[in-house]
Amino acid sequence: MNLSNNQKQSFSRRSFLKTSALASGGMLISFNLFTACKSDIKPPVDISQLNFNDFNAFIKISDEGKVTIFSPNPEIGQGVKTSMPMLIAEELDVSWEDVYVEQGKLDTKNYTRQVAGGSQSVRFGWEPLRQTGATAKQMLINAAAAKWGVSASECTASQGVITNSQGEKLGYGDVVKEAALLEVPEEVKLKDPKDFTIIGKNISNVDIDKIITGKPLFGLDYKAEGMVYASVLRPPVFGQVLESFDDTETRAVGGVVDVVKFGNKIAVLAVNTWTAMKGKKALKAEWKQDSKPESTALHDAELFKILNGNKFDTRRKDGNVKKAFAEADKVLERVYESPFLPHNCMEPMNFYADVTSEKIHLVGPIQTPAGTAGRVANLLERDEKDVLLEMTRMGGGFGRRLYGDFVLEAAEISSLAKKPVKVVFSREDDMTAGTYRPAIKYKIAASIKDKKVTGYHLKEACINDNMYGLIPHFFPAGAVENYQVDTANYKSNITTGAWRAPYTNFLASAEQSFFDELAEVLEVDRVQLHLDLLENVKNNPEPNVEYSPERLQGVLKKVVDKSNWGKTEADVYQGLAVYYCHNTHVAEVADIVMENGNPVVKKVTCVVDCGIVVNPLGALNQIKGGIIDGIGHALYGELTFQDGKPQSNNFNTYQLIRMGQTPPEVDVHFIENNLAPTGLGEPTLPPIGGAVANAIYKATGKRLTKQPYLSNMDVEKVIG
Amino acid sequence: MATFSLEINKKTHTVDADADTPLLWVLRDQIDLVGTKFGCGVGMCGACTVHLDGTAMRSCLLPVSQAEGKQITTIEGLSEDGSHPVQEAWKEIDVPQCGYCQSGQIMTASAFLDQNSNPSNTEIRDAMHGNICRCASYNSIEKAVKVAAEKIR
Ligand code: FES
Ligand code: FES
């Protein structure tokens, strides 16, 4: 999708935004951000198909020319609360210093689709948000032209000032009143990327001042009149149900105001968080096993049984892998394993609910407000229009906050207790009542004939839901003539769900390790193998793939150059990975050294092709965060189960990566182009595990196939 | 329940609380100073870091009864207007991602730099080791500590 084509695109703006004059002075432009950024429409976005009926985002231009963008977009740490307004401000042509971003209140009936996740916000907002800014700018120009009695084409606008051919000037604030009453223009021209003044500049996080001074921003910080705190006792073992409980001691704790049983859970309500937690500890509950308690050993056995069996759903089938394997000179087959992972958002799950006969008021951090509001209405058998949901900044999401279980809890407790309630998870609650990344195993096999890869067969065995998604059309689909992806799963009573970079967060490590070994078996250079396979895709008349072979080759060549691939000092070992996911192409090289038998990542070189980089400062944060997070989970992350009980419940029994374990240098390079921007919150995470495993192989001669790597290479595990 | 008199950010606050209540919850729920964050409650993440007589301390493990008679500084009191060199460095580097861990990071870094304004890389890494950032903004934190050290020197 090239920009020059997009500039010619036109669509009816009349149905897309609305302007109105404000009684307080100034102009209000209303538009629908989430329909505009509808994520089930594939790029290039066909704007004519979008249906802009409701408005949920607003731009206010005051008569002093100050611009306030009310963004209903939830911030989970991906910087979208900064980058999305940048797109509007760029085309509106105001200086960033005059722009204020506020989190809008959410009226759920107007929110048909609203999800933060999937790294897609900026990708889908790219066109509509710039169109919005450009439309508003054109209306301001039209108003100024009418005032001067000249044609609009004689006027230009920049930095909030409109100038005519005589050199006369009017500020945006001077013409907002008139502009608000004008017709919305049918067609506007978008800027040439070379004229961008905001996009591509380093812009700080819009909430930075509040964050560094400790202002209330997060769900956990929210307070309301009359609110009590709730600590919830949930089944300690997956598969258990509540049989009976005794709250005598709990009620004797000073400050406990109520104890409420709901479903299989018991909530202790108190005047503050600590008392609620204390009251919960004093509860005596009896639980009954309702379904089989599962252990990690059982999961392992079941997943292996699947991999060695023949009951699969085939997700993609090219050619005939069976035949290719039968005719092969050699077959390489490996199994890769990964454990359950908790999300461990830094801010534990929490939510505020005030359920009264008139309304349901919900406030807190959630990635899926619309769906969650609907589920709350359903649960309480209320009309959805009674629900008012407000989002706060989120202390991390990573997929966990897509699931509104904690919102439902808060609503149900408030409805039963008839009080405004804030549910607060302790870290133990958060880690043991999770919606985990499920354990996954892959069996990958390649057939080799005459020193060429003739077949590729990937089998996935997964707990609960499979990771299929777009995987069948990822590399090496299209590169190998005989190609097949099969999936199957084991249904567990442990709750599982999306985790940062769903589908690929482990797949990439597995495949990138496999290709490393495959190159070795083929006795070809690792980089050359990949370049050649990508060449096959280019020569394939019908590759039917999601990724671009050219862009993958581009990042690969550049990372070879930037990382000094193969030219490091003695005792430094390099591993490589190249991957496409979440619409972004990435290549990574990890440099490791061995210290006391432990692999230590010293440096990562990363090349990213994400199209235009909207906010380099935010982009670097995302990229480096994804890489370090990926290293941490590949090396340390693991949640095991024994008799249905999670075996870690806090950071003293669960290792998250810390500063001392972080590579001091993550060297990031971008591929410069004018392509539409793609997401950055996720794509750098999946491949890094593979790069690290490949480097460990060079250092130790040991191929690691099971995560977390550090628990599977006979080194001592120390937590903290 | 007992009454405690606390010196927080140079102001005296009187609170009624059980003696075993961690200072963290008194700050957050009773005094409305929510900049100090809850991350683990077991002293393993650093989100709740405050200064007690100038020393970094995990407020989630500190019973309110032991905070009496000490000068308590929270992120809200680190400077009047966000102009402490560590805060300025954080802003300059644009450290935060989700931002949740950052007040704890800033409190740890500021107490550390008060003791050692010319730290080596290893000293910085050791000093910051107790603070988890789930968003893994460690590279930026490390850089910001160095920038802050320069400002302080
Ligand atoms: S909340 Fe105190 S160290 Fe984690
Ligand atoms: S910025 Fe999110 S936990 Fe540190």
Q: Which ligand is nearest to the CA of B97?
A: 2
**Percentage of residues of chain A with pLDDT beyond 90:** 74
Kindly list the residues from chain A whose CB atom is less than 8 angstroms away from the CB atom of residue B3.
none
My answer on whether A552 and A510 are in the same domain is yes
Residue A56 has a pLDDT of 57
Q: Which atom of ligand 2 is nearest to the CA of B105?
A: 4
**Do A83 and A225 have their domain in common?**
no
How do beta strands A482-490 and A313-318 pair?
antiparallel
Which residues, in sequence order, are bridge partners of residue A69?
A59, A101
A207 and A242 together in one domain: no
Give yes or no for residue A107 having a pLDDT over 60.
Answer: no
Question: Six-digit token pair at A527?
Answer: 């980089």
Domain count, chain A: 3
8 Å CB contact of B102 and A656: no
* Residue A503: per-residue pLDDT: 87
* For residues A80-101, average pLDDT: 89
Could you give the C-alpha distances from A426 to A188, A224, A277, A281, A430, in angstroms and in order? Answer: 52, 20, 8, 12, 6
B111 touches chain A (CB under 8 A): no
Residues A245-287: pLDDT tens digits?
999 999 999 999 999 999 999 999 999 999 999 999 999 999 9
Q: What is the share, in percent, of chain B residues with pLDDT greater than 70?
A: 100
CA max distance for chain B? 46
Q: Does residue A44 lie within any of the structural domains?
A: yes
A613 occurs within a structural domain: yes
Which residues, 6+ apart, have CB-to-CB distance to B153 below 8 Å?
B117, B118
Q: Is the pLDDT of residue A113 over 60?
A: no
The answer to whether residues A415 and A458 belong to one domain is no
Confidence of residue A416 (pLDDT cuts 50, 70, 90): very high
Residues A247 and A134 grouped into a single domain: no
The pLDDT of A390-418, averaged and rounded, is 94
**Strand A641-642 to A598-609 pairing:** unpaired
Q: Which of A25-39, A390-404, A654-668, B122-136 has the lowest mean pLDDT?
A: A25-39
| A479-492: average pLDDT | 96
Q: Whose CA is nearest to atom 3 of ligand 1?
A: B43
For residue B40, the chain A residue with the least C-alpha distance is: A427
For the CA of A346, the closest atom of ligand 2 is 3
Say whether residue B104 is in contact with chain A using an 8 A CB cutoff: no
**pLDDT for residue A97 is more than 50:** yes
Q: A567 and A453 in one domain?
A: yes
Q: How many CA atoms lie within 13 A of A530 on its CB side?
A: 27
Looking at the structure, do residues A416 and A325 belong to the same domain, yes or no? Answer: no
B94 lines ligand 2 (CB under 6 A): no
pLDDT in tens, B78-87: 999 999 999 9
Please state the rounded mean pLDDT for residues A398-412: 96
The predicted structure's pLDDT at residue A47: 32
| A338-374 confidence digits (pLDDT tens) | 999 999 999 999 999 999 999 999 999 988 887 898 9
Using alpha carbons, list the distances in angstroms from residue A708 to A87, A340, A629, A695, B49.
40, 10, 13, 15, 30
Same domain, A58 and A28: yes
Among residues A362, A394, A424, the one where a domain terminates is A424
**Contact across the interface for B38 and A348, Cβ inside 8 Å:** yes
Q: Tell me if B100 CB under 6 Å of ligand 2.
A: yes
Residue-wise DSSP of A339-371: -BB----SS--EEEEEE-SS-EEEEE--S-HHH
A429 in a structural domain: no
- Out of A379, A399, A424, a domain closes at A424
Residue A546: pLDDT over 70: yes
User: What are the structural domains of chain B?
Assistant: 2-77 (3.10.20.30), 85-152 (1.10.150.120)
Residue A208: domain span: 3-212
Q: Is the beta carbon of B101 within 6 A of some atom in ligand 1?
A: no
Does the structure show a pLDDT above 60 at A420?
yes
CATH at residue A636: 3.30.365.10
Residue A16: its pLDDT value, please?
Answer: 57
Tell me: do A467 and A510 sit in the same domain: yes
Write down the pLDDT at residue A2. Answer: 33
Q: Pocket of ligand 2, candidates B44, B95, B102: which has the most ligand atoms within 8 Å of its Cβ, to mutate?
A: B102
Residue pLDDT, tens place only, A163-208: 999 999 999 999 998 998 888 887 888 999 999 999 999 998 889 9
Residue from B75, B137, B139, B142 to probe ligand 2 pocket by mutation (most atoms less than 8 Å from CB): B137
The DSSP call for residue A350 is: E
| More confident position, A104 or A499 | A499
Residue-wise pLDDT for A503-537, tens only, equals 899 999 999 999 999 999 999 999 999 999 999 99
What is the rounded distance in angstroms from the CA atom of residue A708 to the CA atom of residue A635?
5
Same-domain check for residues A496 and A600: yes
Say yes or no to pLDDT of A54 above 50. no
Tens digits of residue pLDDT in A217-227: 999 999 999 99
Do residue A78 and residue A113 come from a single domain?
A: yes
Ligand 2 atom, smallest distance to B98 CA: 2
Q: Which residue of B has its CA nearest to A214?
A: B35
Residue A307 lies in a domain: no
Parallel/antiparallel/unpaired status of strands A482-490 and A452-463: parallel
Burial group, residue A284, by CB count within 10 angstroms (0-12, 13-18, 19+): exposed
Q: What is the mean pLDDT of chain B?
A: 97
From the candidates A269, A401, A659, A662, which should be mutated to test the interface with B, based on the most B CB atoms within 10 A? A659
Q: Model's pTM, two decimal places?
A: 0.92
What pLDDT sits at residue A80? 74
Judge whether A137 lies within some domain: yes
> Does residue A120 surpass a pLDDT of 70?
no
Among A192, A212, A232, the domain boundary falls at: A212
A66-76: average pLDDT: 73
Ligand 1 center–CA A473 separation, angstroms:
43
Mean pLDDT throughout A567-583? 94
Closest by CA position to A506, among listed A692, A258, A720, A269: A692
CA distances from A581 to A120, A255, A475, A685 (A): 11, 50, 10, 10
First to last CA, chain A: 47
pLDDT tens digits along A369-386: 878 989 999 999 999 889
Q: Residue A99 is which amino acid?
A: V
Please check the confidence at residue A457 and state whether its pLDDT lies above 50. yes
Shared domain check, A151 and A8 = yes
Nearest C-alpha in B relative to A397: B98
The alpha-carbon radius of gyration of chain B (Å, integer) is 15
ipTM: 0.98
Mean predicted confidence (pLDDT) in A547-562:
98
Q: Is residue A526 in a domain?
A: yes
Return the ligand 2 atom nearest residue B97 CA.
Answer: 1
